[in-house]
Amino acid sequence: MALILAIESSCDETAVAIIKDGQLLSNIVSTQIEVHRKYGGVMPEIASRLHAENISVVLKEALETANVKLEDIDAFAVTRGPGLIGALHVGLQAAKTLALLYKKPLIPVHHLAGHVYANEYIAPLHFPLLAVVVSGGNTELVLMKDHLQFEIIGETRDDAIGESYDKVARVLGLPYPGGIPIDKLAKEGDHTYNISTPLKGEKTYDFSYSGLKTQVINLVHNLEQRGEQVNVPDMCRSFQDVAVGLVIDRAKRAALEYNVKEVICAGGVSANSYLRSEMKRVMDEIGVEILIPPMWCCTDNAAMIAKVAEHLYERKMFAPLSLGVDPNWRIEDYDKFMN
C-alpha cells in the first residue's frame, strides 16, 4: 500500500493527515471556530485567508508527527468540494504544488465521501448501507451498494440541518456553532412550542429546513413583540424534536425500503446527542445495524479524506494538475473530475 498525505480546507478547519496501509500516522486539525464565532457564522473571505496562513504550519506538523518527509509520500489527496470556493482553492493549490514538485499523483476527494468513510476508522462498512449525512452545508441520504457507489435517495430542498441549528441559535442569542448549545439546552426544556413538521404527509426522502428555521424566527419575534419572554430551553427542545425527527423518519423508512444491512451517520450534526440516541433506538427496534462515529470523526478533518484517498489510490483514480475546485460537487459524481 501507499503513503498518502491528505489535505482538507473546505470550510473552517485547515487539516492535514498522513496514512499508510489504513493506519493514521498523523492527523492535525487547526480550527478557525473562535475567529468566526464573533460573526455568528463562517465568514468565507476570512476562512480563505486563515487557510492560506495556516496550511504550511499544519503540513509541517503533520509531517513531523508522522516522522516522514515529503519526498516519501506516494500521492497527495485533497478535498475538491463541496465547500467554500476560496477555502477549497487553498487546499487544492497546496496539493497541486506538492504533486507537481514531487512528481506524484493528485487524488481529488469528495468532502461528504470523507464524512462517510470516517466510519471506517471505527469498523468495516457493511453493504448495502444507508449513510445519513447531516452537516452544516448538506443533508442527504446516500445509499451505498458497495465501496464508492453513492446514490442520493433524498436531500434537502433548501437549507442544511446544521445551517438551521446555527440560524435558530443566533435568533436565540446562543453562540456559534449553534448545534452545541441547542443540543445542551434542549435537555433542560420541554416540547411546549407548536412547530409544524416540514413536508408532512409527503412520501419523500427529501428534507426541508428553511421553513422550519423561519417558523422559529417568526415565533421568537412575535413573542418579543408581545413583550413575552422566550423560554429558550423549551424553544430548543421543540425545534430539535422536529429537526431531528425529520432525519429519523427518513432514515427508518429508507432502511426498511432498501433493506440495508447498516445505517451509518456522518457529518457535524451526527454529534447531536438526541440524534445519536434516537437513531440507535429506532435502528435497534427494526433490527438494522447502526454505526455512529465518535465525536472526532464527526467534525471536519483530513483523516477522513485520507481514508477515501486510499480507495481511490487502489483504483488509480488520479486527476490532472489542471483540476479546479467544485463548490457544488455532488457525491454521485465523486469520480467525475477528469476535466
Backbone angles phi, psi at 5, to 5 degrees: -110, 130
Pattern 176-215, ligand KG4, x by CB under 6 A: -xxxx--x--------------------------------
- How many CA atoms within 13 Å lie on the side-chain side of 259? 0
- How many CA atoms within 13 Å lie on the side-chain side of 271? 22
Tell me: does residue 91 bind ligand KG4 (CB under 6 A): no
Which lies closer to ligand KG4 via its Cβ, residue 166 or residue 278? Answer: 166
Pattern 136-175, ligand KG4, x by CB under 6 A: xx------------------------x--xx---------
Q: Shortest distance, CB of residue 203 to ligand KG4, whole angstroms? A: 26
Kindly determine how many residues on this chain lie close enough to bind ligand KG4 according to the rule CB under 6 A.
19
- How many CA atoms within 13 Å lie on the side-chain side of 280? 9
β-pair type (75-81, 106-110)? parallel
Tell me: does residue 105 bind ligand KG4 (CB under 6 A): no
- 308 in Cβ contact with 110 (< 8 Å): yes
Q: Determine the interface stretch with ligand KG4 among 27-35, 231-239, 264-272, 280-288 (rule: CB under 6 A).
A: 264-272
Which lies closer to ligand KG4 via its Cβ, residue 33 or residue 101? Answer: 33
- How many CA atoms within 13 Å lie on the side-chain side of 22? 7
Q: Shortest distance, CB of residue 126 to ligand KG4, whole angstroms? A: 23
User: What is 97-108 written as a DSSP string?
Assistant: HHHHHHT--EEE
- How many CA atoms within 13 Å lie on the side-chain side of 263? 32
Query: Cα–Cα distance between 16 and 1 in angstroms, integer?
Result: 19
Q: Shortest distance, CB of residue 339 to ligand KG4, whole angstroms? A: 24
**Nearest CA to 282 among 240, 304, 249, 260?**
249
Tell me: does residue 272 bind ligand KG4 (CB under 6 A): yes
Ranges assigned E (strand) in the chain: 3-8, 13-20, 23-31, 75-81, 106-110, 129-134, 139-144, 151-155, 262-266, 289-291
Q: Determine the interface stretch with ligand KG4 among 210-218, 245-253, 257-265, 266-274 (rule: CB under 6 A).
A: 266-274
Tell me: does residue 299 bind ligand KG4 (CB under 6 A): yes
Q: Determine the interface stretch with ligand KG4 among 97-105, 133-141, 196-204, 223-231 (rule: CB under 6 A).
A: 133-141
Which lies closer to ligand KG4 via its Cβ, residue 154 or residue 181? Answer: 181
Burial per residue of 198-219, b for 16 or more beta-carbon CB atoms within 10 angstroms, e otherwise: bbeeeeebbbbbbebbebbeeb
User: For residue 148, how far is the Cα from the chain centroid?
Assistant: 17
Q: Shortest distance, CB of residue 154 to ligand KG4, whole angstroms? A: 17
Q: Shortest distance, CB of residue 11 to ligand KG4, whole angstroms? A: 5
Which lies closer to ligand KG4 via its Cβ, residue 180 or residue 223? Answer: 180
Which lies closer to ligand KG4 via its Cβ, residue 184 or residue 261? Answer: 184
Q: What is the chain's length?
A: 339
Q: Shortest distance, CB of residue 292 to ligand KG4, whole angstroms? A: 12
Backbone angles phi, psi at 266, to 5 degrees: -150, 150
Residue type, 185: L
Which lies closer to ligand KG4 via its Cβ, residue 154 or residue 268? Answer: 268
The residues, any chain, with a CB within 8 Å of residue 172's CB and separated by 6 or more, are 182, 220, 230, 232, 235, 236
Which lies closer to ligand KG4 via its Cβ, residue 144 or residue 266? Answer: 266
Which lies closer to ligand KG4 via its Cβ, residue 26 or residue 135? Answer: 135
Q: What is the DSSP letter of 159?
A: S
Tell me: does residue 271 bind ligand KG4 (CB under 6 A): yes
Summarize as ranges the residues that interact with ligand KG4 (CB under 6 A). 11, 135-137, 162, 165-166, 177-180, 183, 267-269, 271-272, 299-300
